[in-house]
Structures are given as structure tokens and as C-alpha cells.
Structure 1
Amino acid sequence: GRNITPVDIPKAIINPILDLCDQHLKSVVDIMGIERIVGVGNYAKKRAKTIVPELDIDAMWHPSPASPLANRNGGADWRANVASKLPLS
């Protein structure tokens, strides 16, 4: 097997799936009154910006094994990035 990303899937298959995901995210945002979204990776950030552009939308690095950022310094840089986007307090 290999990692398959949305861009690897034919549009005729992925577009209906993305439409459902977009509708669900919009529903969750509306129901919960969410004001801020932190996407895991820039793809998630971009998708969120198209669905709810009025919100504060940011991204943290995706923890993919293929990501040089996520794997630098034994993952310490990735953990620092997550902590900067999702502070505990």
C-alpha cells in the first residue's frame, strides 16, 4: 500500500466526498458556534477557508512521515509548532 491523498483520487470520485465533508464541517461550525479552526496541514486550512472564510483559520504542520518539518529534531520542532497553535491555556 501507499499513502493516497485527495489529489490522487479522480475528481468524479473525490468531489462528492469533499462536498459532503464541507457540508458537515459547516454544520459543526454552525451548531457549536466555532470561531477558530486549526487545520492539520495547509490542505485542511485551504479547505476550511473555502467553507467558512469569515472564521479565524490557521494551520499546524501535518505529522506525515514524509514531512521534513514534522520530523526535524526528532519531532521536537513539530511538537513546538502544535503547542504554538494550540496553547493549553
Structure 2
Amino acid sequence: MSQYRIIADEIAARIQSGHHAPGTLLPSPGDLEHLGHRLGDARDALRWLVRHGWAEIRPGTGYHVTEQPPQDEWEQFTRHVDGYLDGLRDS
């Protein structure tokens, strides 16, 4: 699995567990870089979260958890399929 997907999945899991509540600010790409992730992977992870409905960009403030993050089985299925396809592309 791609590094950016690992980061995105970790953040999505934190959203699902309630650690990041709807509307809260997520770590910036720079914050994630300070935690040891490559900046490009951090940016790709946050873009993936936006594309899949977990986060939104608010101009001037950054990435925030959407008011209704995806929780249903279909979203979980598509995340797993996306991860599988990313793995195929990386190999």
C-alpha cells in the first residue's frame, strides 16, 4: 500500500473513532512532515481524504473533518478497493 494511503487510513480511523470530530482542523501537510512523513505523501493523503469525503478545505484555515464523514459499508469497500489498486500501481 502507498505511504500516502497509510497516512490517509490512519487519519480516517481517527475520524471514525471520534478523535477528530466533524468540523475540527486536521494536521497540515507540514505538521505531518514534522511527524516523520514525506511532505508529498502528506499532501497526497489529505487530498485523498478530501476526494473521498472525509475532509474539506476551508480557505485560509486548512483541512477540516467534513460535517458528515463517510461511515457506511460502501465507503469502506471502496477504500479497500482503492488500496488494492494503489498497491498494484506501486508494484
How does the TM-score come out when normalised to structure 1? 0.32
Pick the structure with greater CA Rg. 1
**Larger RCO: Structure 1 or Structure 2 (Cα < 8 Å, ≥ 6 residues apart)?**
2
